[in-house]
Amino acid sequence: MNNNINIFYKNHSNIYKVLLFIATTFLIVFLFPKSGRFKYNFEKGKPWQTENLYAPFNFAIKKNKSEIDKEKELLKSQSIAYFNRNEKVKSSVFNAFEKSFSNVFSDSIPNYNILKEKSSQILDEFYEFGILSENIKLKPEKTVIILENNVEKETANFKNLFNQSEVKSTVENELKEVFTPKEINSIIALFFNVIKPNLTYNKTLTENVLNEALQSISVNRGMIEKETLIISKGEIVNDNKFQILNSLVNEYESKDWTKSNYYWIVFAYTLLVALALLMLLLFIRKYRIDVFNNNTKVTFIFFNIFVVVLLTTLVVSYKSEYVYIVPIAILPLVLKAFFDARLGLFAHVITVLLLGSIVPNSYEYMFLQIIAGIVTILTVSELYKRANLFISVGQITLIYIIAYFAFFVIHEASIENIHTQTFVLFILCGLATLFVQPLIYVYEKLFGLVSDVSLLELSDTNSKLLKELSNKAPGTFHHSLNVANLAEASANEINANAMLVRVGALYHDIGKMKNPTYFTENQSSGINSHDELSPKESAQIIINHVINGIEIAKKNNLPDRVIDFIRTHHGTSQVYYFYMKEKANNEGVNIEDFSYPGPKPFSKETAILMMCDSVEAASKSLKEPTSAKIDNFVENIINKQKDEGQFLNADITFKEIEAIKKVLKRKLANIYHLRIEYPE
């Protein structure tokens, strides 16, 4: 039982990675569509590249959206409007007219009978179909059906129906050639008193009938029988063939699959996703072993990949045309900010390959996103500078637009019907990519990581910890500033992370705050605190500044990447002065009592700090420095560290070490340059 526990404890990190790998694989597979996927790729206007294609089963040819829209517009233009007519209104209006006419006109006037007959004819004309109760705007040729008690009575055109506003103009036109203006005005006034609308627009029935007609539109325009030749090899995929092939794809992917088919599809997707994630893990293990050994960082990478797949799946499920609004470029941006460009690009490519299984036009999508990822890695640098991010996002958006334009022209052979709304999606995608700044801040808090933005904040010498260092150990603070300048220049020379190494240099000696007077740079009074201690005790105080620095850093929540500089800046070297002093009195001295606990530097940046720290500290002992003295001095110190194997764990080359030597020699020569003494 104890053996099993020990084995589990020793391998708990690898066990965690296996569980994380399995969990991420199944979560991504869960998001994928579980239908079959058509095995051929084709593009409109391009030749069919594979063998002759025969229909594998009977299927209907689907109409495209434009065909269905045309049918809908035709139905809407040919639809019928329904009106309810009150049959009692007409008789009551005519009765009122008979009574009112006798009261308004005297039967003694010459045209009494003609006027009455003509007025009755006009009234008959108004009520032949009816008068509308509201002002309805329909096309004059629109067919209308008039209902009485929900029974169809008459069919007419809308122009045959009258609005109340038309009464005056109609009466004037009918009577102006026969009767006087006074008589016409009297008739108009009479009509306005007796006429009542009898037609009401039945909007509900009209819309219901139209909706039924729209729903009855067939989405199919024909059938393809099984074993029918669909397209031959080399044949151009024209509009008709493209629609038939799309119909086959839709039918194939919406086909009802048996449980056995379903499980095979899930199994196949699991293999593909697992293979992609395994390649990512192997890449990290081979090229970024420090990241591989840190479970938090591996979790962070897998988490980001899953979030990108989740967002893309949700957008595709809602509306696949919006797939380009998902800011995929955030993934390489984030990974570059926390790790490096190579890891960011590799993870981005793996993610895009996974997304190829769920997005439409997968080749076009993958090409666009991989190109965008490459541009992101090449253009985005120094994220803490806001202008750089805006410029890079602009370049990424431009690349999206150019690549999409090229694909569209290849497909359509013209730019007449180019989808400008897709360009708007790219612009929105670019704006969403700017969200990377607050996202990096959130990730720093959630996962305890550090980015260049945080490093910029930590490099502020007015920060609480550095101000405390300058107050308690001013000599150490000044030494740290000098080391930071040397280290930054060296890092720039070999393309290392200059911001990281500068911050590491500023904080590498904060442990000296605990016993500042035991370090020569802080001894301003001329009294040496070591005079009262044995060499072994003195060495222990010197060595403990590393441990004290780690404790202070953790107490002040410094990131692990900065603490690594405190831990490694002396490697496993010895406090040589006190070792030799003890050895003079005791031949049996144990050198381990005078050695720093390590570890040795394990990155370019920590190796740079070790070199710069040793050179800057020892340079204080130079008397009457010359160029030759400085050159020999730098060579001796760094060669000694190299001979002791201090750089064996760091991924730094001999060529880079030589380049750093040159930088240090040049910088020290500038610092110790002797001025010409002018006569007084």
pLDDT at residue 299, rounded to an integer: 93
Specify the amino acid at residue 662.
Answer: K
Q: How many CA atoms lie within 13 A of 464 on its CB side?
A: 6
pLDDT value at residue 256: 54
pLDDT at 449: 80
Question: What burial letters (b/e) apply to 136-148, b meaning 16+ CB within 10 Å?
Answer: beeeeebebbbbe
Instruction: Give, as one character, the DSSP assignment of residue 162.
Output: B
Is the pLDDT reported for residue 162 higher than 90? no
Query: Distance between CA atoms of 341 and 676, rounded to whole angstroms?
Result: 48
More confident call, 521 vs 584: 521
Please state, in angstroms and rounded to a whole number, the distance separating the CA atoms of residues 599 and 294. 17
CA-based torsion, 427, 429, 433, 438: positive or negative: positive
pLDDT recorded at residue 636: 92
CB neighbourhood size of 134 (10 A)? 10
606 within 8 A of 614, measured Cβ to Cβ = no
Q: What is the mean pLDDT of residues 520-548?
A: 83
Cα(600)–Cα(650) distance, integer angstroms: 8
Q: Find the helix or strand (DSSP H, E) in which 143 lies.
A: strand 143-148
Q: Of residues 168 and 466, which shows the higher confidence score?
A: 466
For the stretch 195-223, pLDDT in tens is 888 899 998 899 899 898 888 888 787 78
Ramachandran angles phi, psi of 220, nearest 5°: -110, 155
Domain boundaries, the chain: 18-34+259-419, 74-213, 452-523+535-671
Superfamily name with CATH number, domain 452-523+535-671? Hypothetical protein af1432 (1.10.3210.10)
Do 58 and 339 touch, CB atoms closer than 8 A?
A: no
More confident call, 7 vs 112: 112
Residue length, the chain?
Answer: 680
292 to each of 260, 289, 295, 428, 610, how far by Cα in Å?
Answer: 38, 5, 7, 35, 25
User: Two tokens at 252?
Assistant: 């194939």
Q: Which residue has the tokens 């095979």?
A: 264
CA distances to 82, 356, 386, 443, 569 from 450, in Å:
71, 32, 17, 9, 19
DSSP string, 365-386: HHHHHHHHHHHHHHH---TTSH
* Rounded CA separation 600/501 (Å): 16
pLDDT of residue 385: 64
For residue 448, the Cα-to-chain-centroid distance in whole angstroms is: 22
Residue 250 has pLDDT above 80, yes or no: no
pLDDT in tens, 384-423: 566 777 888 888 889 888 888 888 787 666 777 777 788 8
Question: Where do the H-state alpha helices sit in 105-202?
Answer: 112-127, 167-175, 181-194
> Which letter, b or e, does each residue of 564-591 get, where b requires 16 or more Cβ atoms within 10 Å of its Cβ?
bbbbbbbbebbbeebbebbeeeeeebee
Average pLDDT of the segment spanning 610-630? 86
| Confidence label for 635 from pLDDT (cuts 50, 70 and 90) | very high
Q: Residue 349, Cα to own-chain centre: how many angstroms?
A: 15
- Which residue would you say has higher pLDDT here, 137 or 83? 83
Among 86-100, 286-300, 648-662, top mean pLDDT goes to 648-662
